[in-house]
Each structure stands twice: as structure tokens, then as C-alpha cells.
Structure 1
Amino acid sequence: MHEMSLTEGVVRILEEQAASHGFTKVKTVWLEIGELSTVVPESMEFCFGAVARGNPLTAETRLEIIRIPGTAWCMDCSKTVAVTSRIDLCPDCGGAKLAVTGGEEMRIKELEVE
């Protein structure tokens, strides 16, 4: 489960930002996870609870996950289309020449801190 190491990385980033900006508690963290990122949001939630526990900065932090839909550019019909998988065909023309343009990301979007 790579979500555990990803969650540990998120908590490290929060600790670095706390040191840089002088806050002592993260109340809420909004995390964007793309539909094509191979990250399972439910696993991130579970891992965050385990990793954040006992850490004074994150012990009471609420994790809010924002799911980012997958998008791709179809080289056959020159349109941006919604995709749910890297092997999808274009929903408009049925073409297979798709270049993913969104939905692969995982990033911290916003923090609410004290």
C-alpha cells in the first residue's frame, strides 16, 4: 500500500510548513487526488488517521479529499474529453489516440491552521 508512504510525505510537508510559517496546529487539510493517479482516497483517509495520531500538529486534523476527474486530449477529434481510465477510448469519436491532460495529480490544495 503506497498510500502509507504518501501520507507520511503529506505529514512531513505539514511539519515543514509549520516550521516555516509558525503555526502549531493543522485543523483541516484539503488534498486533491486525481482519478487517474492510482491513489485510493479511502486508503489515504485510513493512513492519515494512523500517521497523524500522536503528532501534536496533526492529531486532530480533518482530511478533506477533493477528487479531480480524469481528462484527455483526443488527437483524432481534437477535443478535451472526460476519461476514467488510461485505456479509455474517446467518448466522442471512439479514437484511441488520447493524451492524458488531467487527473494524475495529488497535491495539498489548502490548509486551515492555528
Structure 2
Amino acid sequence: MHELSITQSLVEAVLNRTGNRPVTSVNLRIGPLSGVLPDAVRFCFELVTADTPLADAALIIDEPQGLALCRSCRNEFALEDRFLLCPCGSADVEIVSGRELAVTSVEVA
């Protein structure tokens, strides 16, 4: 499960910015095409933050929709997975959003 190492890196990044101040919430943005499972991050967050200033922090994950633009018909359409095929049948598509994996904000006490 690579989500454990990703979550550890996210927590380390937050701790580097907040130091020993208690953190009340961490907001993440995880797109469906990022290859990261939000539920696995939720599970790992609890493990990784134990005995840290983030131990009681709420984890809030925004899960934006994946979007692609068809280069053939110029139609923008939703992506639920990595199957990059426009409803028109073209595979010539550009991913517009859905690959996000970022800490968007942190709230400290």
C-alpha cells in the first residue's frame, strides 16, 4: 500500500511548516486519477499522526471529478477511471483535472 508512504510524506510536510503547534485540521485534494485511494489515506493518517501534533486533527479530503478534453470533437467529459475514451469514440484525449494530490490548507490551534 503506497498510501502509507504518501501519507507519511504529507504529514512530514505539514509538520515542517507547523512545528510543534497543535493542528486541528488538514485539508487534502485527491483526484481520482492520482492513483491514491482517499479511504486508504484516511486509515493511514490515523496511524501516522499518533503521538504527533496532528494526532487529533480532522482530515478533510476533497475528491474532485476527473475531467478530460477530447482533441477530436472538443467535448469535455467526466473521467471515473484511467480509461481515456471520449463518448465520441476517440482516444485522443487530454486530461484536464483529476491527477491532484495536494495539501490545500492546514488549521492550527
TM-score, with structure 2 as normaliser: 0.93
Identity of aligned residues (%): 35
1:80 corresponding residue in structure 2: 76
Q: 2:50 is matched with which residue: 42, 49, 53?
A: 53
Runs of 4+ deviating beyond 3 Å: none
1:43 corresponding residue in structure 2: 40
Q: Give RMSD over aligned pairs.
A: 1.2
Deviation track 1:64-114 (CA, whole Å, cap 9, x = no partner) reads: 1110111111011012211112223213x2221111121011001111112
Q: 1:111 is matched with which residue: 86, 103, 106?
A: 106
1:94 corresponding residue in structure 2: 89
* Distance (Å, rounded) in 1 between the aligned partners of 2:93 and 2:82: 8
Task: Count residues in correspondence.
Answer: 109
C-alpha displacement of 1:63: 0.4
Structure 2 residues without counterparts, runs of 5 or longer: none
1:4 corresponding residue in structure 2: 4
TM-score, with structure 1 as normaliser: 0.89
Q: Secondary structure at the match of 1:68?
A: coil
Contact 1:37 1:106 in 2 (8 A): yes
